[in-house]
Amino acid sequence: MATALHLDLAIIGSGPAGLAAAVKAKQLGIKDLVVFERNERPGGILPQCIHNGFGLQKFEEELTGPEYANRYMQMAAENYVDIELDTMVLEIDKNRTLTAVSEYRGLRTYQCKSIILAMGCRERPRGAIGIPGTRPAGVFTAGQAQRMVNIEGYMPGETAVIQGSGDVGMIMARRLTLEGAEVKAVTEIQPYTSGLIRNEVQCLHDFDIPLLLRHTVAEIHGDKRVEGVTVTEVDAGWNPVAGSEKFIECDTLLLSVGLIPENELSKMAGVILDPLTGGAYVNEFLETAVPGIFSCGNVLHVNDYVDEVSTEGEIAARGAQHHISGKLSGEKNLIAIEGDKTIGQIVPQAISGQRPVTFYIRVKRPMDKLTLRIGDVFEKKFAYARPGEMMRVRLPKKVFAELKSTVTRLNVSCEER
């Protein structure tokens, strides 16, 4: 194999996290950087997200996915960001050696001073939730259907049931309806929708699409093509309620049952994952357990808003800059951050206490009039919290000033008043 090429920074993925990281890194003076993108165009999932609602924080405008990607591509071009398209990163290791392959450059090895992981997430497929029944054509994940309709220009079917009320599922309910299909129901196993209220109103209520809470698809029917599904009510333990089965005729079933951070490469490098987020354990610079390797965006934890994804990319870029200049060399004496039973997930999972930090917190169940506490150093009141909406809490450096150096852990909890 040829000798390794050297890079200050390798960014894996050119979606909203990777592009924002690249632009920020250039602005911070990191010249020697490459973004690796396996697709033929940059932007990640954004080109197929043609609906609006992107960019309210970053651009103070309501943009569509392609427009948001376009803005970042323009900034990348203005900052001379080098994006290697059609290039698949095959392997990274704990010494930050990266192996990538492309048709026109062949196999290449890079020795990187730092790496930013920005590979995004993948949809949970049918197999992951184990729906019984036959295996006919016509079962798609919501994102797959979104690609078919918005990029390829064809419809996955004429009558659909959507399992799961995730945002992509609800957005596809509207999209299919506008394109002339009939969406007969959206089923959600939880007693509340797992997406944003805005999507429930504008995608389901607007088109009189029934949302069946505490319901699930119990069986898929059909030989060659989906002919219908049996939906059933579930109890608090998600067990089917006997006698509640109902057959719904349809030719398509879409699944919007959750997203999983795509960490295959991270694992190769020895990055330690948090079972709650499915992403890496990180400190306030989004640096993983492997010094010099950072993680941001949906590969770190699944976000609700693209703007947050880009902001994380920027934080990781700043971390990489610190690492390259030797100001950050595997932070020691970290304080572990641990959520109690009210907390679904929290990022970062460890902090140094040396600088301000932004926490991203998801509660486990809907709560109203609550107080969030972080150890005994921070307390904030919220009118409400929803699992579908990540909370963002910024702690200034001064809150750590009184913290004793012997503190090794801070508990995070929410309590309704």
Please tell me the distance from the alpha carbon of residue 225 to that of residue 143, in angstroms, as a whole number.
20
Find tokens 């929708």 and name the residue. 193
Neighbour tally for 137: CB within 10 Å = 14
Neighbour tally for 50: CB within 10 Å = 16
Work out how close the CB of 15 gets to other proteins at its nearest, in angstroms, rounded to a whole number: 15
Q: From the list 206, 235, 249, 415, which residue makes contact with other proteins (rule: CB under 8 A)?
A: 206
Structure tokens at 177: 């309806």
Q: Beta 293-295 vs 106-117: how paired, if at all?
A: parallel
Nearer to other proteins, 5 or 151 (CB): 151
Work out how close the CB of 60 gets to other proteins at its nearest, in angstroms, rounded to a whole number: 15
**Does 42 participate in binding other proteins (rule CB under 8 A)?**
no
Stretch that binds other proteins, among 112-120, 161-169, 250-258, 385-393 (CB under 8 A): 385-393
Stretch that binds other proteins, among 24-32, 200-208, 243-251, 371-379 (CB under 8 A): 200-208
Angle at 73 between CA 100 and CA 389, to 5 degrees: 90
Work out how close the CB of 304 gets to other proteins at its nearest, in angstroms, rounded to a whole number: 9
Stretch that binds other proteins, among 23-31, 63-71, 308-316, 352-360 (CB under 8 A): 63-71
Please tell me the distance from the alpha carbon of residue 331 to that of residue 114, in angstroms, as a whole number.
15
**Does 223 participate in binding other proteins (rule CB under 8 A)?**
no
Nearer to other proteins, 177 or 266 (CB): 177
**Does 386 participate in binding other proteins (rule CB under 8 A)?**
yes
Nearer to other proteins, 51 or 96 (CB): 51
Stretch that binds other proteins, among 66-74, 257-265, 322-330, 349-357 (CB under 8 A): 66-74
Please tell me the distance from the alpha carbon of residue 199 to that of residue 176, in angstroms, as a whole number.
14
Site for other proteins in 231-270 (CB under 8 A): none
Work out how close the CB of 147 gets to other proteins at its nearest, in angstroms, rounded to a whole number: 11
Q: Which of 408, 366, 368 is nearest to 384 (CA)?
A: 368
**CB contact at 8 A, 357 and 380:** no
Work out how close the CB of 71 gets to other proteins at its nearest, in angstroms, rounded to a whole number: 9
**Does 198 participate in binding other proteins (rule CB under 8 A)?**
yes
**Does 179 participate in binding other proteins (rule CB under 8 A)?**
yes
**Does 272 participate in binding other proteins (rule CB under 8 A)?**
no
**Does 411 participate in binding other proteins (rule CB under 8 A)?**
no
**Does 196 participate in binding other proteins (rule CB under 8 A)?**
yes
**Does 85 participate in binding other proteins (rule CB under 8 A)?**
no
Backbone angles phi, psi at 48, to 5 degrees: -90, -10
Work out how close the CB of 197 gets to other proteins at its nearest, in angstroms, rounded to a whole number: 4
**Does 52 participate in binding other proteins (rule CB under 8 A)?**
yes
Quote the longest CA-to-CA distance of the chain.
67
The number of residues in the chain equals 417
Work out how close the CB of 50 gets to other proteins at its nearest, in angstroms, rounded to a whole number: 4
Please tell me the distance from the alpha carbon of residue 271 to that of residue 390, in angstroms, as a whole number.
24
Please tell me the distance from the alpha carbon of residue 399 to that of residue 388, in angstroms, as a whole number.
28
Structure tokens at 368: 């109203």
Q: From the list 197, 241, 272, 336, which residue makes contact with other proteins (rule: CB under 8 A)?
A: 197
Nearer to other proteins, 110 or 305 (CB): 305
Site for other proteins in 100-159 (CB under 8 A): 149-153
Work out how close the CB of 384 gets to other proteins at its nearest, in angstroms, rounded to a whole number: 5
Q: How far, CA to CA in Å, does 304 sit from each of 15, 43, 197, 225?
A: 15, 17, 12, 33
Stretch that binds other proteins, among 132-140, 272-280, 337-345, 384-392 (CB under 8 A): 384-392
* Three-state SS annotation for 104-169: CCEEEEEEEEEEEECCCEEECCHHHHCCCECCCECEEEHHHHHHHHHHHCCCCCCEEEEECCCHHH
Could you tell me which residues come within 8 angstroms of residue 321 by beta carbon, excluding any fewer than 6 positions away? 25, 28, 29, 30
Amino acid at 61: E
Q: From the list 90, 107, 201, 336, which residue makes contact with other proteins (rule: CB under 8 A)?
A: 201
Residues that bind other proteins (CB under 8 A): 47, 50-52, 62, 64-67, 70, 149-153, 178-179, 196-198, 200-202, 205-206, 383-384, 386, 388-389
